[in-house]
């Protein structure tokens, strides 16, 4: 490669240009990058040169020779340094006055850094590191400080003291304006970007256990909120870019891996270790190029590529354990406490009915003597896996000698879940190859094969494992007299029966296997100067397998509506799904720089994509035994298959123009057709324009040494959303069979309303941003204001059922999202400590502007007994509705003096007659807004510090001022005595004389005598979920070694989810079991989110 | 390129590509029958449970989940009741397919001999479903065509009952003319006899006794007869017998998904497999015969033991939880029974005929003869010498026991009573249940409003959701 780079022929004209501008021109012309320390050039050097079709090597020699500067190709760069033949003159040895300092310079990941300039402060004396990053410098005894500098890294001044050896880690100048940022269908210098784009460098994230790549998005970029709904191993986080913009269609961003738009989820298979960087495209200027899939933001993932230079091998091994800390376990009553509770429930009820306390013989025998109960089973503890281990091993090899650059990686990840008998395993292999065939042709191929398998359980909701283990009778033992695990806990004294959750976890088999092959291939032709054609093909093949077997030994819970002790009819199901997705892009790009500082960068292309999914599934029940769970032996079997596909065809174009880097203009356009819409409305147009103004370069700006860069930018554009089902605009016939003459008679009925006019949902987006860099990029600030209005939302709305259907997909309504994002990056060196800190905060406000034309009727969802979400004009998305609680009725007189609340008795919650009609009606009419699940703001704060060989990294994330509906309390605070209850139930209302410590509190609990007015949606279940979470702490130590076996190594220790500061009583203030768009903040108990402690080592060979 | 973007679901047929030939129309008509199963599966909630015939096996440990059914039993339903919403929606969903198929049929070029029986069956169903709706809800939205756009649905208003009855009579009169008296190898389809029976029932409900008697007399000419053994009407081995005018067809013992499960729905909750024969499917304990119902049978009535049991014996202990036994037959796969549901039986026709003649001409010998045919089959002595009023009472009593648990009772009560009388009748029944509940209630007492009926509860409320999304829709009085 070295020779090829130098042999490429270049034409250029330089006339009295500064070093900087001359080299920049060469960089663009020859598609190379220089690395140099400007001090190697004499001050005020001006370069002049004309070359026509001259090999780069001879041109460089000609250009640089006069300045005694050598060049060397290394790692994609051309390093300029003072000529070896003419080193900086070593001052004559003056005896003991000089001494030698040796050392090695590396980057943050431990890679060797050749070409780093080292100068003794206050002198001309200096050197440059060699190809292994090593250096040797003779310094005068009087020297105190060395200055290390290298383009792309922060300059460091380091005291020598008495050392004779000094190793230095250079810190990337992340905000370097020259940095290339991956954007849609290409890349751009950060400096030139006029859109809202956040970049995440994966190596800055620290030791977060990367079970799923979406975890890497947490807290890293303003406007990007990644929340963890549950602790299920391998489960992707919910990712929202600038809020929820649609009530009906999906709100997940589009994920693009190495240029391949994979879809709104990349699942569980991608190995986070293979990712180099992530760009998040937020405004229309950045996302409109993805047209119909751009509305929810676009997340561009770039995988690692081979580095120029010799082969390198790195190995990382992490090991950790997960636990649920006591502070985040939900506290329920112990056996003796529950026995006492049962006793009190009976006597309270008796007192209410009969006006006196019961005689002992009137109390059912099972609960008559609570004092005799001593046993406690903590069912919740029993399902937790203590010290659940995870292991993450990765081997990564890069090579870049010769025309081919390659990166090969193998990763194995194995995680045992925080609940017993659940786990997640991932094996992945990646090969990224890129090569230059000749000066016209470059090509590359990335291949990623992976396999994931999981054992999972039904964990969400009160009837599932996590919920039921809170509700089970704590008086019941786990094992029977013979020490055998009891399969089923038959309720005594009116307590609901449940399968033993431990037995269920161990005996119900639910597992998946997902094999995936991702491939990207491209060929790029340099057709003429500045003109390139790139053709790429991407494929994703995915094979999903799911098997479940529920053996006959599992009973049916009573809470699920019908109870049954085992045996049940064993049942099994299996499914196989195959997905094939192919996309292809043909792109033509042209770059030209004109005299006088004008630059034009053009792109035009065609993109097509098609996905097809086929699945086969079978169910079987009634097995002869539980030993052979295969469908073939089931007495009753059924099978089915399905198939669907979608396709997209798009034409796209982009033009970027800049004048002297000061005035920047960009326009993109995409015309896209989708199979998901009717023939009249198949195509949509998605334009965007943006502009930037580098104010700091204006002559009127005072030249200061602290203002590095100031750029104002703005954008407007239109994006779309087609994330709905595949054939929603059509109406199909659905089977509805019958029996005629004792024989099956096939029948069909119409399934839905057709809506031939179903069309794109579009968002108009406006964005204004300010980028400010101060003190030579020490402090970088970005502020962003945006407003987007989504119209013609794709939405399934309720239709009067007299039409024959209860819902229809249509385009309706408007939703507005506006917000402010602030991000700050600061780095400073205090003494020997390099400190970097990064903070971001996002304020997003959604507002529904219109629902169904003139009809302002709000849209309700949820249930009377479990929280109502309402979409209402003028209000944010997904507001929680219910009765407003005014307190607890103490006496009959109080009830009579209040608006009619039929069925209320002393101890009932007192609700507000919101419509003032004199009656609290037993329907939704008196329900009002009781909570907002949208935070006022979300924030993240990262601190990283290095001291000598130590590094320390903290990350906090948080969200402020939002509410959750803690639905599980309708069961865990059910005073009927049919469930175990929360510890705080002891402080319930019992009688007018004994109303609990704070009956007026919103979350106070009423009495035990009723079932009406207890579990209806009300603010009794609403809690503030504001929180701050110390998501990760990592402490690392780097061992540098001159050992020939390995170059260096780093060991680290990290804790994830170390502590949570919140008043929210549940395990996870981000939990949700309803849909993540319009029904947020509904917590009915789910797989708990554990704390992870891990240690690891990375060795670079 | 447009080709690439034109995709359709390969697993289904587009509605616009269907309705092209006789075979497809037959499937569309069968689909309407298919929807009848879903409607019939829950019809007992009102037909029986809302009446004095049955209560349900109260579960003191699970109140929340049973709230919707409790409300029906105790007369505390409100517009938010999910069962009522399901009832309302399922009827209109079926009506859409009736109307749509009729429209497509009108555009088709099928020859009359093929088209007419289809048209007759569809019109019967339209009448049947509107007859249900008008009896449940009073005034309802009337649609005899499909809507061109879903937007049109937001302005639909209820029309007076008289208009709905006019449409029902029109559809049935046409259906009678279009339908054959019998099909060959098509047992289970709607016949002329079914249409006449329904029309007779409609006239009776409207108190048009002349028309009712004349129409029902037509049915007697079609060759139906009472089967000697009352139980044969419900025996899956003797489906669609000579007494059967219309049965909802089910088939168990296989994988086709067309089974019924009434015996599981009706068996006591804690009976395990004692009643149904299978322990692996948990019974639901609904539609429990009341004390009142069990007492309604005269001594010696053969029907009592066939129709119900007063309890079950499990592990040697007798549990006095009564249950409906009519549909309880052995089957080979747990949870999948083979029982059909009787909609119209000839016994019903005879009793309606007796009732109409009595109302029209008094207790004539003809009227008495029709009623006594039914009594004699049950092993009871024939009645004679009744006054018109006594005959009226006798025929209602006979209907109650003969047609027990076949979803007639609630409608019969409402048919012969004014709302005020109906409320008084149900309150008297409620008082008996409160004093002496059919099923023990653990430690949980009745709520103050349980079994308290008001005249407005003669009709069900229009589901709240429907009014929320269509403000043009009015609610029944006092449900607001």
Residue holding tokens 């079994």?
Answer: B451
Confirm or reject contact between B147 and chain A (CB < 8 A). yes
Q: How far is the alpha carbon of B357 from chain A, nearest alpha carbon, in Å?
A: 35
A233, pLDDT greater than 60:
yes
ipTM for the predicted complex comes to: 0.95
A849, pLDDT greater than 80:
yes
Classify B14-179+417-472 by CATH class: mainly alpha
Residues of A in contact with B1 (CB under 8 A): 649, 673
A113 pLDDT band, cuts 50/70/90, is confident
Rounded mean pLDDT of B106-117?
A: 95
DSSP 8-state class, residue A564:
B
Residues of A in contact with B7 (CB under 8 A): 645-647, 675, 726-727
Residue of A nearest to B470 (CA): A800
A1043 pLDDT band, cuts 50/70/90, is low
Rounded mean pLDDT of B155-183?
A: 97
- Answer yes or no: do B27 and A1015 touch at CB < 8 A: no
Q: How far is the alpha carbon of B286 from chain A, nearest alpha carbon, in Å?
A: 12
Residues of A in contact with B4 (CB under 8 A): 608, 610, 647, 649, 675
B448, pLDDT greater than 80:
no
Q: Which of residues 654-683 of A touch B (CB under 8 A)?
A: 673-675, 679, 682
Ranges in chain A annotated CATH 3.55.50.30 = 1-86
- Answer yes or no: do B92 and A564 touch at CB < 8 A: no
Q: What is the dihedral of CA B426, B427, B431, B432, to 10 degrees?
A: -20
Confirm or reject contact between A612 and chain B (CB < 8 A). no
Domain A1-86 falls in which CATH fold?
Answer: Phage tail protein beta-alpha-beta fold (3.55.50)
Highest mean pLDDT among A140-154, A164-178, A854-868: A854-868
Q: How far is the alpha carbon of A978 from chain B, nearest alpha carbon, in Å?
A: 6
Residues of B in contact with A644 (CB under 8 A): 9-11
Closest CA relative to residue B241, chosen from B249, B233, B229, B253: B233
Q: How far is the alpha carbon of A248 from chain B, nearest alpha carbon, in Å?
A: 17
Which phi and psi angles does B429 have, rounded to 5°? -60, -45
Residue holding tokens 């030249």?
Answer: A703
Confirm or reject contact between A922 and chain B (CB < 8 A). yes
Residues of A in contact with B11 (CB under 8 A): 641-644
Residues of B in contact with A647 (CB under 8 A): 4-5, 7
Weakest-pLDDT range from A15-19, A609-613, B87-91, B404-408:
A15-19
Contacts for A228 with CB less than 8 Å, ≥ 6 apart: A215, A218, A235, A237, A238, A1068, A1070, A1089
Ranges in chain B annotated CATH 1.25.40.890 = 14-179+417-472
Highest mean pLDDT among A207-216, A550-559, B268-277, B340-349: B340-349
A92 pLDDT band, cuts 50/70/90, is very low
Rounded mean pLDDT of B466-475?
A: 89
Which phi and psi angles does A789 have, rounded to 5°? -120, 120
- Answer yes or no: do B33 and A674 touch at CB < 8 A: no
B255, pLDDT greater than 90:
no
| Higher local confidence (pLDDT), A733 or A147 | A733
Confirm or reject contact between B332 and chain A (CB < 8 A). no
CATH architecture of A92-172: Sandwich (2.60)
| Higher local confidence (pLDDT), B197 or B439 | B197
Q: Which of residues 680-719 of A touch B (CB under 8 A)?
A: 682
A198, pLDDT greater than 60:
yes
Rounded mean pLDDT of B84-88?
A: 95
Weakest-pLDDT range from A88-92, A183-187, A587-591, B119-123:
A88-92
Residue of B nearest to A552 (CA): B280
- Answer yes or no: do A561 and B471 touch at CB < 8 A: no
Predicted model pTM? 0.81
Cα separation of B319 and B311, whole Å? 5
Q: What is the average pLDDT value for chain A, to the nearest integer? A: 87
Pairing of strands A9-18, A46-55: antiparallel
- Answer yes or no: do A801 and B88 touch at CB < 8 A: yes
Q: How far is the alpha carbon of B346 from chain A, nearest alpha carbon, in Å?
A: 20
Report pLDDT for A8: 77
Report pLDDT for A176: 54
SS3 state at A510: strand
Q: Which of residues 264-283 of A touch B (CB under 8 A)?
A: none
Residues of A in contact with B257 (CB under 8 A): 638, 737
Report pLDDT for A560: 52
Residue of A nearest to B442 (CA): A494
Percent of chain A with pLDDT over 90: 51
Residues of B in contact with A802 (CB under 8 A): 92, 140-141, 143, 153, 156, 466
| Higher local confidence (pLDDT), A616 or A53 | A616
Report pLDDT for A1044: 67
Closest CA relative to residue B118, chosen from B222, B23, B185, B246: B23
Residue of B nearest to A856 (CA): B469
| Higher local confidence (pLDDT), A376 or A354 | A376
- Answer yes or no: do A799 and B143 touch at CB < 8 A: no
Rounded mean pLDDT of A117-131?
A: 76
| Residue of B2, B8, B15 best to disrupt the A interface, most CBs of A under 10 A | B15
Rounded mean pLDDT of A424-448?
A: 93
Residues of B in contact with A495 (CB under 8 A): 61
Weakest-pLDDT range from A132-146, A470-484, A929-943, A1045-1059:
A132-146
Residue A860 near residue A851 (C-beta atoms within 8 A)? no
Q: Which of residues 941-980 of A touch B (CB under 8 A)?
A: 976, 978
Weakest-pLDDT range from A70-84, A175-189, B364-378:
A70-84
Q: Is the dihedral of CA B381, B387, B388, B394 positive or negative?
A: negative
User: HSE on the CB side for A882, CA within 13 Å?
Assistant: 30
The token pair that represents B37 in the structure block: 């199963």
Confirm or reject contact between B479 and chain A (CB < 8 A). no
Cα separation of B197 and A692, whole Å? 81
Q: How far is the alpha carbon of B38 from chain A, nearest alpha carbon, in Å?
A: 10
Residues of A in contact with B279 (CB under 8 A): 567
- Answer yes or no: do A346 and B471 touch at CB < 8 A: no
The token pair that represents A103 in the structure block: 């050392």
Cα separation of A109 and A152, whole Å? 15
- Answer yes or no: do B64 and A1015 touch at CB < 8 A: yes
A671, pLDDT greater than 50:
yes
Confirm or reject contact between A744 and chain B (CB < 8 A). yes
- Answer yes or no: do B7 and A748 touch at CB < 8 A: no
Percent of chain B with pLDDT over 70: 98
Which residue among B13, B65, B96 places its CB closest to the CB of A733?
A: B13
From residue A744, give the alpha-carbon distance in Å to each of A738, A740, B187, B235, B258: 6, 6, 12, 19, 8
Q: How far is the alpha carbon of B390 from chain A, nearest alpha carbon, in Å?
A: 41
Report pLDDT for A26: 82
Residues of A in contact with B32 (CB under 8 A): 747, 749
Q: Which of residues 109-138 of B touch A (CB under 8 A)?
A: none
Cα separation of B333 and A619, whole Å? 15
Report pLDDT for A843: 96
Residues of A in contact with B188 (CB under 8 A): 738-741
pLDDT tens, position by position, B60-73: 666 555 678 888 99
Pairing of strands B312-314, B323-324: unpaired
- Answer yes or no: do B8 and A730 touch at CB < 8 A: yes
A757 pLDDT band, cuts 50/70/90, is confident
Q: SS3 for chain B, per residue?
A: CHHHHCCCCCCCEEHHHCCCCHHHHHHHHHHHHHHHHHHHHCCHHHHHHCCCCEECCCCCCCCCCCHHHHHHHHCCCCCCCHHHHHHHHHHHHHHHHHHHHHHHHHHCCCCHHHHHHHHHHHHHHHHHHHHHHHHHHCCEECCCCCCCCHHHHHHCCEECHHHHHHHHHHHHHHHHHHCCCCCCCCCCCCCHHHHHHHHHHHHHHCCCHHHHHHHHHHHHCCCCCCCCCHHHHCCHHHCCCCCEEEEECCCCCCCCCCCECHHHHHCCHHHCCCCCCCCCCCCCCCCEECHHHHHCCCCCCHHHHHHEECCEEECCEEECCCEECCCCCCCCCCCCECCCEEEEEHHHHHHHHHHHHHHHHCCCHHHHHHHHHHHHHCCCCCCCCCCHHHHHHHHHHHHHHHCCCCCCHHHHHHHHCCHHHHHHHHHHHHHHHHHCCCCCCCCCCCCCCCCCCCHHHHCCCCCHHHHHHCCCCCCCCCCC
A110 pLDDT band, cuts 50/70/90, is low
Confirm or reject contact between B23 and chain A (CB < 8 A). no
**Do you find a cis peptide bond into A653, omega within 30 degrees of 0?**
no
Weakest-pLDDT range from A343-347, A929-933, B120-124:
A343-347
Confirm or reject contact between B61 and chain A (CB < 8 A). yes
pLDDT tens, position by position, A966-977: 999 988 998 888
A79, pLDDT greater than 50:
yes
Which residue among A642, A738, A924 places its CB closest to the CB of B33?
A: A738
Cα separation of A94 and A1023, whole Å? 76
Confirm or reject contact between B4 and chain A (CB < 8 A). yes
Report pLDDT for A88: 45
A170 pLDDT band, cuts 50/70/90, is confident
User: HSE on the CB side for A372, CA within 13 Å?
Assistant: 5
pLDDT tens, position by position, A683-695: 999 999 999 999 9
Which residue among A563, A738, A806 places its CB closest to the CB of B282?
A: A563
């Amino acid at each position: 490669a070295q020779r090829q780079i130098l042999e490429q022929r270049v034409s250029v004209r330089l006339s009295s240009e500064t070093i900087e501008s001359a080299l920049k021109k060469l960089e663009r012309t020859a598609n190379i990058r220089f690395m140099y320390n400007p001090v190697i050039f004499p001050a005020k050097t001006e370069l002049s040169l004309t070359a026509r079709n001259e090999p780069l090597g001879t041109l460089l020699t000609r250009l640089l020779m006069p300045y005694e500067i050598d060049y060397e190709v290394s790692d994609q760069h051309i390093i300029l340094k003072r000529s070896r033949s003419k080193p900086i003159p070593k001052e004559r040895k003056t005896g003991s006055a000089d001494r030698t300092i040796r050392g090695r310079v590396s980057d943050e990941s431990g890679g060797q850094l050749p070409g780093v300039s080292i100068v003794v402060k206050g002198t001309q004396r200096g050197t440059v590191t060699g190809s292994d990053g090593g250096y040797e410098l003779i310094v005068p005894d009087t020297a105190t400080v060395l200055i290390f500098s290298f383009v792309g890294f922060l300059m460091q001044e380091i005291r020598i003291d008495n050392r004779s050896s000094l190793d230095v880690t250079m810190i990337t100048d992340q905000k370097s304006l020259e940095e290339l940022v991956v954007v849609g269908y290409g890349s751009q210098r950060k400096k030139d970007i006029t859109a809202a784009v956040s970049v995440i460098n994966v190596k800055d994230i620290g030791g977060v256990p990367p079970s799923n790549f979406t975890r890497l998005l947490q807290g890293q970029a303003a406007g990007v909120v990644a929340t963890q709904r549950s602790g299920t191993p391998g489960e992707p986080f919910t990712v929202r870019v600038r809020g929820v913009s649609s009530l009906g269609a999906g709100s997940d961003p589009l994920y693009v891996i190495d240029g391949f738009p994979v879809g709104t989820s990349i699942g569980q298979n991608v190995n986070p270790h293979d990712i180099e960087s992530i760009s998040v495209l937020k405004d229309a200027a950045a996302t409109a190029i993805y047209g119909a899939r751009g509305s929810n933001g676009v997340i561009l993932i770039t995988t690692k590529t081979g580095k120029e230079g010799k082969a390198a091998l790195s190995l990382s091994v992490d090991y950790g354990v997960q636990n649920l800390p006591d502070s985040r376990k939900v506290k329920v009553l112990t056996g003796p406490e529950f026995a006492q509770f049962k006793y009190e429930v009976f006597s309270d009820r008796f007192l209410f009915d009969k006006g006196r306390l019961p005689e002992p013989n009137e109390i059912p025998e099972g609960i008559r003597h609570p004092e005799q109960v001593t046993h406690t089973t903590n069912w919740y503890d029993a399902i937790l896996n203590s010290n659940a281990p995870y292991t993450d091993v990765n081997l990564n090899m890069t090579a870049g000698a010769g025309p081919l650059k390659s990166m090969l990686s193998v990763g194995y990840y194995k995680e045992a879940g925080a609940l017993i008998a659940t786990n997640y395993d991932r094996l992945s292999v990646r090969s990224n190859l890129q090569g230059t065939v000749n000066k016209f042709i470059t090509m590359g191929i990335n291949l990623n094969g992976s396999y994931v398998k999981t054992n999972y359980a039904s964990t969400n909701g009160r009837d599932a494992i996590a919920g039921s283990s809170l509700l089970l009778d704590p008086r019941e033992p786990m094992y029977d007299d013979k020490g055998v695990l009891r399969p089923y806990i038959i309720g005594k004294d009116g307590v609901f029966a449940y399968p033993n959750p431990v037995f269920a976890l161990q005996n119900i088999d639910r597992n998946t296997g997902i094999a995936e092959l991702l491939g990207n291939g491209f060929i790029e032709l340099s057709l003429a100067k500045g003109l390139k054609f790139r053709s790429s093909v991407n494929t994703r093949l995915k094979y999903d397998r799911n098997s479940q077997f529920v053996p006959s030994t599992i009973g049916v819970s009573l809470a699920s509506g019908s109870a049954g002790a085992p045996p049940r009819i064993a049942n099994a199901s299996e499914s196989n799904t195959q997905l094939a997705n192919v996309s292809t892009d043909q792109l033509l790009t042209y770059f030209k720089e004109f005299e006088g500082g004008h630059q034009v960068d053009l792109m035009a292309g065609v993109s097509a994509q098609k996905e097809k999914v086929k699945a086969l599934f079978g169910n079987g029940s009634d097995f002869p035994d539980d030993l052979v769970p295969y469908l073939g032996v089931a007495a009753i079997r059924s099978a089915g298959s399905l198939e669907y596909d979608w396709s997209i065809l798009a034409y796209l174009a982009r033009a970027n123009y800049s004048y002297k880097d000061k005035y920047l203009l960009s326009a993109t356009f995409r015309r896209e057709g989708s199979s998901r819409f009717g023939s009249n409305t198949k195509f949509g147009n998605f334009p965007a324009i943006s502009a930037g103004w580098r104010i700091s370069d204006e002559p009127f700006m005072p030249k200061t040494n602290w203002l590095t860069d100031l750029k104002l930018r703005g954008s407007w554009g239109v994006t779309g959303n087609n994330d709905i089902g595949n054939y929603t605009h059509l109406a199909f016939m659905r089977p509805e069979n019958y029996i005629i003459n004792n024989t099956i008679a096939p029948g069909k009925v119409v399934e839905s309303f057709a809506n031939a006019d179903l069309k794109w949902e579009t968002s108009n987006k406006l964005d204004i941003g300010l980028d400010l860099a101060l003190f030579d990029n020490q402090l970088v600030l970005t502020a962003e204001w945006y407003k987007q209005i989504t119209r013609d939302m794709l939405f399934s709305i309720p239709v009067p059922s007299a039409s024959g259907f209860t819902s229809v997909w249509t385009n309706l309504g408007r939703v507005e999202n506006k917000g402010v994002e602030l991000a700050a990056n600061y780095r400073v060196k205090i003494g020997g400590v390099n400190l970097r800190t990064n903070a971001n905060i996002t304020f997003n406000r959604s507002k529904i502007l219109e629902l169904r034309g003139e009809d302002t009727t709000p849209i309700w969802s949820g249930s009377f007994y479990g929280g109502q979400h309402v979409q209402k004009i003028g209000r944010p998305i997904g507001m929680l509705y219910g009765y407003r609680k005014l307190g607890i009725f103490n006496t009959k007189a109080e009830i009579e003096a209040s608006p009619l609340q039929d069925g209320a008795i002393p101890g009932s919650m007192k609700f507000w007659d919101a419509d003032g009609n004199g009656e609290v009606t037993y329907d939704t009419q008196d329900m009002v807004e009781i909570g907002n699940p949208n935070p006022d703001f979300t924030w993240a704060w990262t601190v990283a510090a290095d001291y000598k060989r130590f590094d320390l990294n903290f990350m906090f994330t948080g969200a402020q001022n939002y509410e959750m509906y803690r639905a599980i309390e309708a069961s865990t605070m059910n005073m009927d005595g049919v469930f175990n209850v929360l510890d705080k139930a002891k402080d319930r209302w019992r009688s007018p004389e004994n109303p609990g410590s704070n009956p007026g509190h919103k979350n106070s609990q009423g009495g035990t005598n009723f079932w009406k007015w207890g579990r209806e949606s009300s603010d009794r279940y609403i809690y503030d979920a504001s929180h701050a979470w110390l998501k990760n702490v990592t402490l690392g130590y780097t061992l540098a070694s001159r050992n020939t076996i390995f170059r260096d190594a780093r060991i680290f220790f990290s804790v994830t989810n170390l502590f949570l500061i919140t008043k929210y009583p549940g395990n996870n203030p981000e939990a949700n079991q309803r849909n993540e768009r319009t029904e947020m903040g509904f917590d009915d108990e789910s797989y708990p989110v554990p704390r992870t402690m891990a240690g690891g080592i990375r060795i670079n060979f | 390129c447009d080709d690439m973007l034109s995709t359709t679901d390969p697993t289904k047929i587009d509605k616009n590509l269907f309705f092209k030939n006789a075979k497809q129309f037959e499937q569309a008509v069968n689909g309407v029958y298919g929807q009848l199963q879903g409607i019939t599966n829950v019809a007992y909630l009102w037909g029986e449970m809302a009446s004095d015939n049955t209560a349900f096996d109260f579960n003191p440990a699970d109140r929340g989940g049973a709230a919707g059914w409790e409300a029906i039993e105790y007369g505390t339903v409100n517009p938010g009741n999910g069962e009522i919403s399901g009832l309302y929606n399922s009827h209109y969903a079926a009506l859409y397919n009736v109307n749509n198929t009729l429209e497509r049929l009108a555009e088709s070029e099928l020859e009359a001999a093929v088209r007419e029986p289809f048209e007759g069956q569809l019109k019967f169903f339209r009448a049947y479903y509107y007859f249900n709706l008008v009896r449940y809800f009073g005034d309802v939205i009337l649609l005899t065509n499909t809507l061109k756009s879903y937007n049109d649905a937001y302005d639909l208003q209820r029309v007076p009952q008289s208009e709905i009855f006019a449409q029902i009579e029109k559809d049935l009169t046409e259906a009678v003319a279009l339908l054959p008296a019998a099909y060959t190898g098509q047992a289970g389809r709607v016949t002329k006899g079914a249409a006449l029976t329904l029309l007779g029932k409609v006239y009776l409900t409207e108190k048009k006794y002349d028309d009712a008697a004349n129409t029902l007399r037509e049915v007697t000419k079609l060759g139906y007869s009472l089967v000697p053994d009352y139980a044969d009407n419900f025996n899956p081995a003797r489906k669609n017998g000579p007494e059967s005018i219309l049965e909802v067809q089910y088939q168990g013992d296989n994988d086709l998904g067309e089974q019924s499960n009434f015996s599981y729905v009706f068996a006591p909750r804690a009976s395990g497999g004692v009643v149904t024969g299978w322990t692996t499917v948990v019974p639901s304990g609904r539609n429990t015969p009341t004390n009142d119902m069990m007492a309604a049978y005269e001594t010696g009535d053969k029907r009592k033991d066939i129709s119900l049991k007063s309890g079950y014996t499990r592990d040697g202990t007798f549990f006095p939880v009564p249950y409906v036994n009519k549909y309880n037959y052995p089957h080979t796969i747990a949870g999948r029974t083979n029982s059909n549901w009787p909609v119209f039986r000839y016994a019903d026709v005879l009793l309606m005929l007796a009732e109409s003649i009595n109302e029209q001409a008094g207790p004539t010998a003809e009227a008495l003869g029709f009623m006594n045919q039914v009594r004699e089959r049950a092993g009871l002595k024939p009645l004679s010498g009744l006054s018109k009023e006594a005959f009226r009472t006798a025929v209602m009593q006979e209907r109650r026991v003969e047609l027990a648990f076949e979803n007639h009772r609630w409608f019969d009560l409402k048919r012969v009573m004014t709302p005020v009388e109906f409320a008084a009748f149900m309150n008297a029944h409620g008082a008996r249940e409160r004093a002496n509940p059919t099923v023990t209630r653990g430690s949980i007492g009745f709520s103050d409003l349980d079994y308290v009926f008001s005249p407005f509860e003669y009709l069900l409320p229009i589901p709240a959701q429907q009014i929320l999304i269509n403000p043009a829709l009015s609610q029944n009085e006092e449900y607001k």
